[in-house]
């Protein structure tokens, strides 16, 4: 079991009563409830509220062990998995292998953009974005130059998928409501939140009516949306965007840029299969295993799984969860010498939130937007959170935020540095004086 996200964790749990030993390997010690990660980035929630130690989650499951470490090599002949920094004799061997290592940002060949426009996949990413956003307001408070101030109060989100939409909406609310009374020299309502999207609308995967509704709701809370616009350059001072219908590219000076435009599957996929799609996802058979290695399953964001409509399934928690259940059932079928079943994805609906009382939802063919969608979103996400403790804390934070417009988690961990240092300083660590910079 490689990966403690929705897919890997679910597959492990579904094997609780099977006569197998499960070893779950992850390079992080926690399962992350990624759908709420943007709320950590926008200072609503603390990291601990949406993450649970994998060990605690599997404490009661006696056939499961957890190993922290990063899988760097898979030997499909010897059937072993190698972990970074471990000896070869510590390689883990397997009878079945479930790969659910997820995906990371893709900059489409412009990896250099990452330094100035980070993506949002991990708690580290979220803390980094949170610090960048909060620091931008502090920089704006210092300066007396209106151009510099405008730059620091400009936030650009690239990509209008669910993450981009949710981030842009939350940023606009922070700027216009949460921070309004906290600053003396600046008017946070001057803040400009720009959402840049290459396609013809936001939230490409949704039906047209909802996409238009989402666009309308975004604009209501003050997000500027540029459609059919392509980012051609990102540097430390801003972005350059080619808008459709404009001849010359438009330059936007910005203090904060966030990348939500594309993802790329874990490179582990290419170690077990040559058959990957453009995003590096492994094409799997109808039982989610590889045609060449039926003992290897690939799940979730790493997998190119064909849906009933002939389109690959989207990178959503539901797809990974159901895939995890299916992989576990297939392993149990093998144990019982039964034939494996075919994976059928049950679409339980999807939804995205835009702001306070603003959301869209698409459930069982029904489309709705606004306050009702937002309430449904709240309830579904609260119920889906793993762990009773987290549910209570998140409920309290949300209720508190709703009543007071405050954000509970507005902590910049590191010291506030001089203007225009490239990115926030390292947090949580001081490089040991004896260590080389690379090892810190």
Positions marked active-site: 166
**Burial label, 337 (beta-carbon count in 10 A; 0-12, 13-18, 19+):** exposed
Q: How many CB atoms lie within 10 A of CB 223?
A: 27
Q: In the complex, what is the shortest distance from the CB of residue 104 to its own copies, in angstroms, rounded to a whole number?
A: 12
Among 47, 237, 285, 314, binds its own copies (CB under 8 A): 47
* β-strand partners of 235: 238
Among 16, 20, 69, 384, binds its own copies (CB under 8 A): 69
Helix axes 6-14, 317-335, angle to 10 degrees: 30
Q: Which of residues 8-27 bind its own copies (CB under 8 A)?
A: 27
Question: Quick check: 433 binds its own copies (CB under 8 A)?
Answer: yes
Closest CB to its own copies among residues 365, 432: 432
Residues 6+ apart with CB under 8 A from 324: 6, 7, 8, 9, 10, 11, 12, 13, 14, 98, 100, 299, 300
Token pair, residue 49, equals: 């509220």
Question: Quick check: 55 binds its own copies (CB under 8 A)?
Answer: yes
Residues 6+ apart with CB under 8 A from 337: none
Q: Which of residues 185-224 bind its own copies (CB under 8 A)?
A: 185
**Burial label, 101 (beta-carbon count in 10 A; 0-12, 13-18, 19+):** buried
Closest CB to its own copies among residues 87, 311: 87
In the 8-state DSSP scheme, what is residue 2? B
Question: Quick check: 346 binds its own copies (CB under 8 A)?
Answer: no
Question: Quick check: 106 binds its own copies (CB under 8 A)?
Answer: no
Q: Which of residues 406-425 bind its own copies (CB under 8 A)?
A: 406, 408-419, 421-425
Distance CA 302, CA 304 (A): 7
Beta pairing class for 92-93 and 229-235 = unpaired
Binding mask 124-143 for its own copies (x = CB under 8 A): x--xx--x--x---x--xx-
* β-strand partners of 26: 68
Question: Quick check: 151 binds its own copies (CB under 8 A)?
Answer: no
Among 245, 274, 310, 432, binds its own copies (CB under 8 A): 432
Question: Quick check: 237 binds its own copies (CB under 8 A)?
Answer: no
Identify the three-state secondary structure at position 267. Answer: coil
Near its own copies by CB under 8 A, which window of 155-163, 179-187, 199-207, 320-328?
A: 179-187
Question: Quick check: 88 binds its own copies (CB under 8 A)?
Answer: no
Question: Quick check: 112 binds its own copies (CB under 8 A)?
Answer: yes
Q: In the complex, what is the shortest distance from the CB of residue 127 to its own copies, in angstroms, rounded to a whole number?
A: 4
Question: Quick check: 157 binds its own copies (CB under 8 A)?
Answer: no
Among 65, 230, 293, 294, binds its own copies (CB under 8 A): 65
How many Å is the Cα radius of gyration of the chain? Answer: 22
Near its own copies by CB under 8 A, which window of 107-115, 146-154, 160-168, 278-286?
A: 107-115
Among 339, 349, 371, 431, binds its own copies (CB under 8 A): 431
Q: In what order do the strands lie in the sheet with 250-253?
A: 229-235, 238-243, 250-253
Q: Which residue spans within 169-322 are E strands per DSSP?
A: 192-196, 223-226, 229-235, 238-243, 250-253, 256-259, 263-265, 282-283, 296-298, 303-304
Q: How many residues bind its own copies (CB under 8 A)?
A: 82
Q: Which of residues 387-406 bind its own copies (CB under 8 A)?
A: 389, 392-393, 396-397, 400, 406
Q: In the complex, what is the shortest distance from the CB of residue 42 to its own copies, in angstroms, rounded to a whole number?
A: 13
Question: Quick check: 51 binds its own copies (CB under 8 A)?
Answer: yes
Q: In the complex, what is the shortest distance from the CB of residue 55 to its own copies, in angstroms, rounded to a whole number?
A: 4
Distance CA 211, CA 221 (A): 16
């Amino acid at each position: 079991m490689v990966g403690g996200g929705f897919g890997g964790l679910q597959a492990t749990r579904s094997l609780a009563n099977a006569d197998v030993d499960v070893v779950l390997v992850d390079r992080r010690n926690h399962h992350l409830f990624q759908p709420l990660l943007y709320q950590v980035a926008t200072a609503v929630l603390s990291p601990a509220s949406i993450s649970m130690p994998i060990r605690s989650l599997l404490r009661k499951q006696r056939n499961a062990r957890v190993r922290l470490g990063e899988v760097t090599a898979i030997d499909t002949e010897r059937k072993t998995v190698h972990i970074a920094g471990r000896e070869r004799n510590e390689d883990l061997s397997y009878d079945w292998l479930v790969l659910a290592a997820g995906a990371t940002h893709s900059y489409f060949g412009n990896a250099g953009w990452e330094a100035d426009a980070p993506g949002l996949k991990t708690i580290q990413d979220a803390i980094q974005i949170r610090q960048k956003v909060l620091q931008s307001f502090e920089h704006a408070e210092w300066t007396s130059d209106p151009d510099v101030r405008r730059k620091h109060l400009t936030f650009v989100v690239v990509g209008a998928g669910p993450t981009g939409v949710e981030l842009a909406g939350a940023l606009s609310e922070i700027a216009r409501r949460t921070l309004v009374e906290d600053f003396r020299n600046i008017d946070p309502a001057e803040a400009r939140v720009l959402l840049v999207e290459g396609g013809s609308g936001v939230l490409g995967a949704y039906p047209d009516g909802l996409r238009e509704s989402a666009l309308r709701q975004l604009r209501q809370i003050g997000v500027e949306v540029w459609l059919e616009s392509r980012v051609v350059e990102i540097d430390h001072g801003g972005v350059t965007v080619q808008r459709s219908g404009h001849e010359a590219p438009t330059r936007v000076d910005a203090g904060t840029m966030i990348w939500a435009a594309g993802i790329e599957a874990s490179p582990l996929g290419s170690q077990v299969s040559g058959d990957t799609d453009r995003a590096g996802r492994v094409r799997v058979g109808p039982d989610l295993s590889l045609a060449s290695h039926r003992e290897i399953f690939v799940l979730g964001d790493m997998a190119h799984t064909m849906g009933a409509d002939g389109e690959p399934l989207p990178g959503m928690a539901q797809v990974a969860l159901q895939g995890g259940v299916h992989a576990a059932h297939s392993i149990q079928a093998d144990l019982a010498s039964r034939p494996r079943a075919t994976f059928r994805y049950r679409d339980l609906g999807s939804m995205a939130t835009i702001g306070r009382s603003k959301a869209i939802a698409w459930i069982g063919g029904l489309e709705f937007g606004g306050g009702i969608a937002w309430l449904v979103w709240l309830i579904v996400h609260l119920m889906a959170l793993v762990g009773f403790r987290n549910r209570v804390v998140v409920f309290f934070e949300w209720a508190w935020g709703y009543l007071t417009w405050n954000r509970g988690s507005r902590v910049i961990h590191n010291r506030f540095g001089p203007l225009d240092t490239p990115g926030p300083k390292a947090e949580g660590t001081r490089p040991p004086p004896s260590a080389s910079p690379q090892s810190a």
